[in-house]
A and B are shown apart, each in its own frame.
Chain A
């Protein structure tokens, strides 16, 4: 069973518009963490934002915010005022496993975001 589902293989957005990237997850743990990473064409993985399952408020980091709906098991990334440099692959990931505190990440398939001028 897929633990992280990103249903949008690709998205095209006009510059300066807001964009929402979908992510749903599946876990029976009460304590877990959700992450978003950006992977530009150069290939590196850039951490964007984190949401803990017990965090009461939605996480925000600059233009990034995470719309966390626990009952729906969704953790959508919202990028406000998109820029050309936001064009990249975006991955949602969940921390699972606590073997000696191990925090391995499970990744979704990714969404390729293209910002049009």
Chain B
């Protein structure tokens, strides 16, 4: 009964390189959220995806960041040409299909800690 899985747990990149973060949702969950946590801050929403669809990317930086959730396989958050300011913890959460306005718990993964040198 695996929960939300994220890998890698720790990722070190040099400035200018690309970072790929992967998230496998809980079994039966078709909705994925990505959040970023800067040091000593709360989590900030980045993007919400369903399978093969980006539903809300209002929290995504306009450049260098992209996300996908293909029909098969994990969700990927991709950061191109990383800069030091991208150093943060990136959390993925998954949920079942939301039912109207009722509560649908988001289960969080353990996060990926990205360090940009």
Among A33, A45, A102: residue with most chain B CB under 10 A: A45
A104 to B31 Cα, complex, angstroms: 11
Number of A-B contacts (CB under 8 A): 72
Q: A43-B89, A105-B45, A107-B42 are in contact. Are A33 and B103 (CB under 8 A)?
A: yes
Interface string of B99-113 (1 = CB under 8 A from A): 111011111101101
A101 touches B97 (CB 8 A): yes
Q: Least Cβ distance of A99 to chain B in Å?
A: 5
Number of B interface residues at 8 Å Cβ cutoff, please give it: 31
CB-CB contacts below 8 Å: A83-117 with B: 91, 93, 95, 97-110
Judged by a CB distance under 8 angstroms, whether A25 is at the interface is no
Q: Does the CB pair B106–A103 fall under 8 Å?
A: yes
- The answer to whether B44 has its CB under 8 Å from any CB of chain A is yes
**How near does chain A come to B4, taking the closest CB pair, in angstroms?**
10
User: Which of B41, B45, B100, B107 contacts A104 (CB under 8 A)?
Assistant: B45
Segment 13-28 of B: residues with Cβ below 8 Å from A: none
Min CB distance A105 to B, Å, is 7
Interface centre among A95, A103, A108 (most CB of B within 10 A): A103
A/B interface sample: 8 pairs, CB < 8 A? A43-B113, A44-B111, A50-B103, A99-B56, A100-B55, A103-B98, A107-B35, A110-B42
